[in-house]
Homo-oligomer: A and B are copies of this chain.
Amino acid sequence: MAQRRDPSHEIREICRTAARIFYEKGYDGASMQDIADAVGLTKAGLYHHVGSKDRLLFEIMNYGMDILDEAVVSRVLQIADPTERLRQTIIGHIDLVVRTRNIEITVILHENRSLKGELRDKINTRKQAYIHLIEQTIADVQARTPAPPLLSPKLAAFALLGMINWLYQWYRRDGPVQQEELAQAYGDFFFRGLLGRS
C-alpha cells in the first residue's frame, strides 16, 4: 500500500472521483461533502488534501491537460510529416473525448466557465498551447500545398476542435459507428475541408 501514500497519486485518485461527481451533478450542484463521502474522507480531510473546491476543479482540469499532453501531444510532436502529425492528433483527440474513462476531459470541456481568476488563466494558457500546436500543424500542412490556403489556420483549428469536442454530447461507443470508422471519416472530412481534396 506504499503507493497510496504518494501524495500526487492520492490527489489523482481524488481528482478522478471528484470529476465523476462534477460530471453527474455539475460543478455548482456538487458539494465538498458529496466528494468527501465518495472518496472516503471527512470533509476536513478533503480540504486538507485539495485546499478548496476551486482548487479541486483546477487540479482535475490540470490532470486532464496532463492526460492530453501524455496521450496526444508528446506522441505527435515526434512525427515529422505535418499531414501525418495532424491525422494522429485527430485520432488521439477523438480517443480522449469518446473514452468514458477520461472523464477529466469532459469536465474541462463542460465546466470551462466555472473556474475563475488565476487558476482559470493557468488552464487557459495550457489550452492555448494546444490550440497553437494545432494551428501551427495546419499551417505546415497548408504550406506543403501548392494552392493558396482556403481557410485561416485559426478558423480551421476551431472547426476541428468543435467537431471533436462536440462528440461528448452525442457519440456513444456502444452505438452503430465504431470509433475507428468515426476517426477515419472525420479525419478525411477535415482534410477535404482544409485542402479541397482528400
Residues of chain A having any CB pair with chain B under 8 Å:
25-30, 110, 112-114, 150-152, 154-156, 158-159, 161-167, 169-171, 177, 182, 185-186, 188-190, 192-194, 196-198
CA–CA, A27 and B28, complex, Å? 8
CA–CA, A28 and B23, complex, Å? 12
- B192–A190 touching, CB < 8 Å: no
CA–CA, A164 and B165, complex, Å? 12
CB A131 to nearest CB in B, in angstroms, measures 9
Chain B residues within 8 Å of A162, by CB = 162-167, 169
Chain B residues within 8 Å of A182, by CB = 155
What's the number of copies of this chain in the assembled complex? 2
Q: Given A25-B28, A29-B28, does the pair A170, B158 have CB atoms closer than 8 Å?
A: yes
* Interface class of chain A by DSSP: helix
CA–CA, A19 and B131, complex, Å? 30
- A161–B150 touching, CB < 8 Å: no
- A150–B188 touching, CB < 8 Å: yes
- A189–B185 touching, CB < 8 Å: no
CB A107 to nearest CB in B, in angstroms, measures 13
Q: Given A29-B29, A163-B159, A165-B166, does the pair A151, B193 have CB atoms closer than 8 Å?
A: no
CB A47 to nearest CB in B, in angstroms, measures 20
Chain B residues within 8 Å of A194, by CB = 189, 192
CA–CA, A177 and B159, complex, Å? 14
CA–CA, A186 and B193, complex, Å? 9
**Interface residue from B28, B177, B185 paired with A26 (Cβ < 8 Å):** B28
CA–CA, A143 and B188, complex, Å? 20
CA–CA, A192 and B197, complex, Å? 8
Chain B, residue nearest A114 (CB): B26
Q: With contacts A189-B194, A196-B197 known, what are 9 further pairs, Cβ within 8 A?
A: A26-B27, A27-B29, A155-B185, A155-B189, A159-B186, A161-B166, A165-B166, A190-B193, A196-B196
